[in-house]
């Protein structure tokens, strides 16, 4: 099955930079473009100023550039039917159609699916009105988790430590409308305890491949303190997932999830990213995402010996069963370099100086960067760069990544100093 020769990557984050780099490294040397891309992607591939959620604009761009494969990075375009529109125009695209994207775009849809197919997940109830929600809260222990149903850019989940905090979250969502339509329905879910881990599957109908396991650090500050973020750093493999546990996750979570989705009549072709809590009673599903994680992708793709483009293409064409996944034994670690203040307010437009030389097996993935009018690299978002290194040990990968973090310059540079610490300290 020949690989596509002209590829469009949709999105503008570190994940998309990693996808662009992986496609550029594919043996057939395809032409790769991005929309809208970012400052770092633009140094490697033509970027077109079309927003990721401009569905007609992306379809028109793909037609104009004679693209034969579109890879959609973020969840919003998936949830509004970008892949449906591309397929209708005859353009193969990686990522679920709108029906599959609901698994991320509606936490209630997913909870009902998990319950229907008895896939392990926290007990939860659904509310649209405040009084019954508050009555339910009084019957549950704290901490308790309040979730807006729809997409909320990672902000729609409140892990409330007290009943008062939970009540505020319920009122903010149902009465205050802080998440707009996304929060018109809420899920109140028991709190799970344990370590979180990210499972990525490349899915094609009933077939799937399990990608290397990663762990993300979600809190902004060292020692997992401070506000929740999109992710401040990742590492892979995650050794908390032993081979036995992985077999259990596959048996109890992955296979049943893929089968449940297919049984619902969804022909899912794309990434299913399962957020798991490893509880003392076993692995439980926190959420599904229907795209690659960011910054999980930055540590997963560099560890693949199999061409990631071949995987995504095979999944899209329904040919995944013929592919064998090969993973490098190396450890990978990614440190997110953010602008101080993220995930709250932070400065933009600061000029960035990258180190002139990088250690071996090290990559600078750009997230919130842009090229200014003079073509100079400037910051343009909260998470600015992802510094990823591979090595034969996690410690060596960490040393390499942090040496680059120390050497790069911009005024509000901020990063966590303890990415990977959980695993490094366990030994």
**Closest residue (Cβ) to ligand AMP?**
287
Our measurement of the distance from residue 216's CA atom to the centroid of its chain's CA atoms, rounded to an integer in Å, reads: 10
> How many of the chain's residues bind ligand AMP (CB under 6 A)?
13
Please classify residue 67 by burial: count the beta carbons closer than 10 Å to its beta carbon, then call 0-12 exposed, 13-18 middle and 19+ buried. buried
Q: Which is nearer to ligand AMP, 16 or 189 (CB)?
A: 189
What does 296 interact with, of ligand GLY, ligand AMP, none (CB < 5 to 8 A by kind)? ligand GLY
CA atoms 300, 301, 304, 309: torsion sign: positive
Q: Is 191 in the site for ligand AMP (CB under 6 A)?
A: yes
Question: Considering the complex, what minimum distance in angstroms separates the CB of residue 110 from ligand AMP?
Answer: 9
Q: How far apart are the first and last CA of the chain?
A: 44
Taking alpha carbons only, the member of 418, 381, 377 closest to residue 232 is 418
Minimum gap (Å) between residue 389 Cβ and ligand GLY? 18
Partner interacting with residue 294 (select from ligand AMP, ligand GLY, none; CB below 5-8 Å by kind): ligand GLY
At 123, is the secondary structure helix, strand, or coil? coil
Show contacts with ligand AMP in window 243-282 (CB under 6 A).
275
Q: Is the peptide bond before 143 cis (omega within 30 degrees of 0)?
A: yes
Identify what 231 binds: ligand AMP, ligand GLY, none; CB under 5 to 8 Å per kind: ligand GLY
Distance (Å, whole) CA 194 – CA 58: 41
The reply to whether 226 sits near ligand AMP by the rule CB under 6 A is no
Q: How far apart are CA 416 and CA 3, in angstroms?
A: 39
Which lies closer to ligand GLY via its Cβ, residue 92 or residue 230? 230
Report, in Å, the least distance between residue 125 CB and ligand AMP.
Answer: 13
Which of 9, 67, 72 is closest to 38 using CA atoms? 9
Task: Pick what 230 binds: ligand GLY, ligand AMP, none; C-beta below 5 to 8 Å, kind-dependent.
Answer: ligand GLY
DSSP, collapsed to helix, strand or coil, labels residue 159 as strand
Q: Positive or negative, the Cα torsion across 327, 302, 66, 315? A: positive
Distance CA 311, CA 316 (A): 9
Pick between residue 228 and residue 306 the one whose CB is nearest to ligand GLY: 228
Peptide bond into 228 cis (omega under 30): no
Listed ranges 61-69, 187-195, 347-355, 363-371: which one lies at the site for ligand AMP (CB under 6 A): 187-195
Contacting positions for ligand GLY (CB under 6 A): 216, 230-231, 289, 293-294, 296
Six token digits for residue 193: 């305890």
According to CB under 6 A, which residues from 136 to 165 bind ligand AMP? Answer: 145, 147, 157, 159
Q: Which of 19, 35, 70, 122 binds ligand AMP (CB under 6 A)?
A: 122
Residue 150 C-beta: closest distance to ligand AMP, Å: 11
CB of 284 to ligand AMP, least distance (A): 8
Question: Does residue 189 bind ligand AMP (CB under 6 A)?
Answer: yes
Residue among 167 and 196 whose Cβ is closer to ligand AMP:
196
Q: In the beta sheet, which residues pair with residue 315?
A: none
Kindly state the smallest distance separating residue 167's Cβ from ligand AMP, in Å: 18
Alpha-carbon span 279 to 92, nearest angstrom: 39
d(CA 231, CA 229): 5
Closest CA to 415 of 373, 370, 367: 367
Binding partner of residue 13 among ligand AMP, ligand GLY, none, CB cut-off 5 to 8 Å per kind: none
- Residue of minimal CB distance from ligand GLY? 231
Residues in contact with ligand AMP by the rule CB under 6 A: 122, 145, 147, 157, 159, 189, 191-192, 196, 218, 275, 286-287
């Amino acid at each position: 099955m020949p690989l596509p020769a002209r590829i469009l990557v949709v999105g503008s984050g570190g994940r998309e930079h990693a996808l662009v780099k992986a496609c550029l490294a594919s043996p057939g040397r395809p032409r790769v473009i991005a929309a809208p891309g970012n400052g770092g992607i633009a140094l490697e591939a033509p970027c077109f100023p079309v927003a990721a959620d401009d569905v007609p604009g992306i379809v028109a761009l793909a037609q104009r550039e004679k693209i034969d494969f579109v890879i959609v990075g973020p969840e919003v375009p998936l949830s509004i039917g970008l892949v449906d529109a591309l397929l209708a125009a005859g353009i193969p695209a990686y990522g679920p159609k709108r029906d599959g994207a609901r698994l991320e775009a509606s936490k209630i849809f997913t909870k009902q699916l998990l319950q229907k197919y008895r896939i392990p997940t926290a007990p939860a109830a659904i509310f649209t009105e405040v009084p019954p929600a508050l009555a339910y809260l009084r019957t549950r222990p704290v901490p308790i988790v309040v979730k807006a149903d729809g997409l909320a850019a990672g902000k729609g989940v409140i892990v409330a430590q007290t009943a008062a905090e939970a009540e505020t979250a319920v009122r903010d969502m149902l009465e205050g409308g802080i998440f707009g339509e996304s929060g018109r329905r809420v899920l109140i879910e028991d709190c799970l305890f344990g370590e979180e881990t990210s499972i990525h599957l490349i899915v094609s109908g009933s077939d799937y491949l399990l990608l290397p396991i990663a762990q993300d650090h979600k809190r902004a500050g060292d020692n997992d303190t401070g506000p929740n973020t999109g992710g401040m750093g990742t590492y892979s493999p995650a050794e908390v997932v032993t081979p036995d546990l992985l077999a259990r996750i596959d048996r109890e979570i992955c296979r049943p999830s893929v089968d449940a989705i297919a049984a619902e009549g969804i022909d899912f072709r794309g990434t299913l990213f399962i957020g798991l809590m490893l509880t003392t009673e076993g692995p439980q599903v926190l959420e599904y995402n229907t795209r690659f994680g960011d910054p999980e992708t930055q540590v997963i793709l560099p560890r693949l010996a199999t061409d990631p483009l071949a995987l995504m293409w095979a999944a899209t064409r329904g040919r995944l069963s013929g592919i064998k996944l090969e993973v490098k034994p190396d450890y990978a670690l990614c440190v997110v370099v953010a602008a101080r203040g993220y995930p709250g307010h932070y400065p933009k437009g600061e000029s960035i100086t990258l180190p002139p030389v990088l250690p071996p097996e090290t990559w600078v993935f750009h997230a919130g960067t842009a090229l200014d009018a003079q073509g100079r690299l400037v910051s343009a978002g909260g998470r600015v760069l992802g510094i990823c290194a591979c090595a034969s040990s996690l410690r060596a990968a960490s040393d390499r990544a942090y040496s680059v973090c120390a050497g790069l310059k911009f005024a509000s540079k901020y990063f966590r100093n303890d990415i990977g610490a959980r695993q490094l300290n366990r030994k």
